[in-house]
Amino acid sequence: MKEKEVFSSNEIRLSWKDWLITGIILAFLFALIPRVWQRIEPFDPGPGYRISYALSEDYWHFSRYCRIAATEDRVLVVGDSVMWGEYVTPDETLPEQLNARVGETRFANLGVNGIHPIAMAGLIDYYGRALSNRDIVLHYNPLWMCSPRHDLQTEKEFRFNHPQLVPQFYPRIPCYKDPYAERLGIVFGRYLPMRGWANHLAIAYFDNMDIPAWTLEHPIENPFSKITLELPQPDMARRHGGKSWTEAGMAEQRFEWVDPAVSLQWHFFQRTVQTLKARGDNVFVLVGPFNEHMIAPDNRETYVRIKKEIAAWLDQEAIPHYMAPLLPSELYGDASHPLSEGYALLAANLLDEGVFQQFLTKWRGL
């Protein structure tokens, strides 16, 4: 008589209740690990801190810095590389020039290199939730309206800064052509702390690669040895030399200015202002200073009109603001970035401006 075959397996079959419990445990761990990591990984921004260039796309780190800066009850200066300080050292940026003139650490630099208004809206929405009931100087750089390409309106695909922060589906960004599956992953990742933390590890310790990809390129190295708990340090040197735009050989340009009525960058900046106001923030908008010396003479009238339209909207919305005046030509490094002396002059002018003084009187430290 043939023996009956006996099948065995090491497989464990889970009931629906087991799966539910497993899912709850995993969800708890996924939410807990990023919180615990903040206690493990040292991070003390200190006065004069600006986010390291290497961490420009580390939005988990930006969110962490926001929370720390918000608890210090300082005026938070938010903007692109003009506020970050592309041509200057950390102690020469506008926030630090303001601190030097008021004699205390009142302003914190939350500038992010390469951020543009469309990406800024996403950064504030998803990673800047600590910016609530705070005092905020929000910078607007007209450079982002100087052409349809800068405004992200061209139909031809091109790679732009911070694509993970822009709307993935609606409203449509014409030049953004990433696959829909990748976009869907980005959307889900915005609400999953574990995803942001994993991205932080990749940027801070693994050369901007996820761990599986890194191990393929470094098969004999121990990935755990890379996690040194030492974050990339802030850039203490200038990313560019201290030469003015004319010394660097730059010439006047004709810009293809985009009208504010149809500008995507301006629309998203308006949305960011309204978002911050809805959160109870005390918002002051700084526009410019743009290097008008670099605009071809027959092209300047359009820019002047655009500035007037920007100021008109800010007046209409009762947003205190300062339209930065034109600095001397030799104080610009390029079309929109001042040099150290330019920031010093801008800080002095800003502190003398009555509307800015009124904004500061609402600061909790006064």
CATH code for position 343: 3.40.50.1110
SS3 118: helix
pLDDT score of 15: 74
- Answer whether residue 177 shows pLDDT above 60: yes
Query: What's the domain range around 246?
Result: 47-361
Average pLDDT, the chain: 90
Give the tokens for residue 303.
Answer: 């820019």
Q: Which helix (H) or strand (E) holds 31?
A: helix 16-40
Burial class (CB in 10 A: 0-12, 13-18, 19+), 115: buried
Q: Is there a domain that residue 30 lies in?
A: no
Does 1 map to a domain? no
Q: Measured between alpha carbons, how far is 183 from 162 in angstroms, rounded to an integer? A: 13
DSSP state of 283: E
**Using the 8-state DSSP alphabet, how is residue 70 labeled?**
H
Whether 11 is in a domain gets the answer: no
Residue 150 lies in a domain: yes
Query: What is the pLDDT at residue 276?
Result: 98
Query: What pTM did the predictor assign?
Result: 0.90
Q: Provide the percentage of residues in the chain whose pLDDT is more than 90.
A: 72
Structural domain contains residue 244? yes
pLDDT higher than threshold 90 for residue 216: no
If you search the block for the tokens 């349809």, which residue do you land on? 148
Return the pLDDT at 20: 66
Residue 32 lies in a domain: no
User: What was the pLDDT predicted at 220?
Assistant: 84
Beta pairing, strands 135-140 & 75-78 = parallel
| CB 245, CB 99: distance < 8 Å | no
CA distance 355 to 284: 9
Residue 3 lies in a domain: no
**Total number of domains in the chain:** 1
In a domain, 14, yes or no: no
Structure confidence at residue 194 as a pLDDT band (50, 70, 90): confident
